[in-house]
Chains A and B, each alone.
Chain A
Amino acid sequence: MSMDIEVLEDSSHHRYVLNMGPQHPSTHGVLRVLLELEGEYAMHLLPVLGYGHRCHEKIAEFKPAKSFMPNTARMDYLGALIYNHGFAQLLEKAVGIEVPERAEYIRVITSELNRIQSHLLWYGAYLLDLGAFTPIMYAFDDREHILDILEDVTGSRLTYCYFRVGGVSKDIDEKFVTKTRAFIDRLRSRYSLYETLVNGNVILENRLNDVGDLNPHTCNRYGITGPLLRGTGVAYDIRRAEPYSIYSQFDFEIPTATKGDCMASFMVRFRELEQSLRIIEQALDGLPEGPVMAAKVPKKLNIPAGDYNSSVESPRGELSFYLVSDGTDVPYRLKVRTPSYSNLSVVPEMCQGMLISDVVSAMGALDLVIPEIDR
Chain B
Amino acid sequence: MEIFNSLLPELIRIVVCAVCGAVIVFGNALVMGYAERKLAGRIMLRPGPMEVGFHGLYQLVVDGLKLMGKQLVIPVNADKPLYMLAPLLAFAPVFVPLLVLPFSEKIQGFDLDIGMLVILAFASINVLAILIGGWSSNNKYSLFGAIRSVAQNVAYEIPMLISLLAIVFMTNTFSLKEIAAAQSPVWFVVIQPLAFLIYIVAMVAETNRAPFDLPEAESELTAGFHTEYSGMSFSLFVLGEYANMFIVCSVATVFFLGGSSGIPLPFFEYTGIVWFLMKVYLLMFFLVWIRWTYPRTRFDQLMNFCWKYLIPFSLVNLLITVVMVKLV
Contact = CB atoms under 8 A, between A and B. Distances in A.
Chain A in direct contact with chain B (Cβ < 8 angstroms): yes
A16 B140 contact: yes
Given A203-B294, A207-B298, A357-B298, A131 B44 contact: no
A229 B40 CA distance: 36
Contact of B219 (A40, A138, A197, A360): A360
A303 B312 CA distance: 74
Contacts of A357: 217, 220, 296, 298-299
For the side of the interface on B, what is the size category? 20 to 34
B300 interface: yes
A59 interface: no
Given A134-B44, A137-B46, A207 B222 contact: no
Interface string B268-304: 0000000000000000000000011111111111000
A133 B40 contact: yes
A129 interface: yes
B211 interface: yes
A230 B1 CA distance: 87
B241 interface: no
Interface in B18-42: 40
Contacts of A5: none
Nearest to B291: A133
Contacts of A141: 45
Contact of A40 (B43, B44, B144, B218): B144
Contacts of B213: 131
B293 A197 contact: yes
A16 B45 CA distance: 42
B205 to A, nearest CB: 13
B160 interface: no
Interface in B195-223: 210-211, 213, 217-222
Contacts of A201: 294-295
Interface in A216-268: none
Given A40-B144, A131-B218, A360-B219, A138 B45 contact: yes
A221 B222 CA distance: 33
A18 B142 CA distance: 12
B292 A133 contact: yes
Contact of A133 (B44, B140, B299): B44
Contacts of B292: 133-134
A148 B26 CA distance: 44
Contact of A25 (B46, B219, B297): B219
B140 A18 contact: yes
A26 B220 contact: yes
Nearest to A356: B220
B219 A130 contact: yes
A137 B46 CA distance: 8
B299 A40 contact: yes
A183 B184 CA distance: 56
Contacts of B210: 131, 133
A16 B147 CA distance: 15
Interface residues of A, number: 30
A204 B210 CA distance: 13
A131 B293 contact: no
B229 to A, nearest CB: 17
B143 to A, nearest CB: 10
Nearest to A137: B44
Contacts of B220: 26, 356-357, 360
Interface string A111-149: 000000000000000011111111001100100000000
Interface in A145-195: none
Contact of A203 (B44, B140, B218, B295): B295
B43 A134 contact: yes
B296 A203 contact: yes
A16 B144 CA distance: 12
Nearest to A40: B299
A134 B293 CA distance: 6
Nearest to B140: A18
A207 B297 contact: yes
Given A134-B44, A134-B292, A203 B211 contact: yes
A355 B219 CA distance: 13
Interface string A309-329: 000000000000000000000
Interface in B136-163: 140-141, 144
A129 to B, nearest CB: 5
A58 interface: no
Contacts of B144: 40, 356
Contact of A130 (B44, B45, B295, B300): B295
A128 B298 contact: no
Contacts of B219: 25-26, 128-131, 360
A63 interface: no
A2 interface: no
A25 B222 contact: yes
Nearest to B41: A137
A361 to B, nearest CB: 8
A128 B291 CA distance: 12
- Residue in B40, B213, B219 whose Cβ sees the most chain A Cβ within 10 Å: B219
A129 B220 CA distance: 8
- Residue in A129, A131, A356, A357 whose Cβ sees the most chain B Cβ within 10 Å: A131
Nearest to A364: B219
B160 to A, nearest CB: 21
A12 interface: no
B227 to A, nearest CB: 11
A358 interface: yes
A145 to B, nearest CB: 13
Interface of A: 16, 18-19, 24-26, 40, 127-134, 137-138, 141, 197-198, 201, 203-204, 206-207, 355-358, 360
18 contacts: A18-B140, A127-B295, A130-B219, A130-B295, A130-B296, A131-B213, A131-B217, A131-B296, A132-B296, A133-B210, A134-B44, A134-B293, A138-B45, A198-B295, A206-B297, A206-B301, A207-B296, A355-B300
| 10 tightest A-B CB contacts, nearest first | A131-B296, A132-B295, A137-B44, A26-B219, A130-B295, A129-B219, A357-B298, A131-B295, A25-B219, A203-B295
Given A355-B298, A356-B220, 17 more contacts: A16-B140, A19-B140, A127-B295, A128-B219, A130-B295, A131-B211, A131-B295, A132-B296, A133-B40, A133-B210, A201-B295, A203-B211, A206-B297, A355-B300, A356-B221, A357-B298, A357-B299
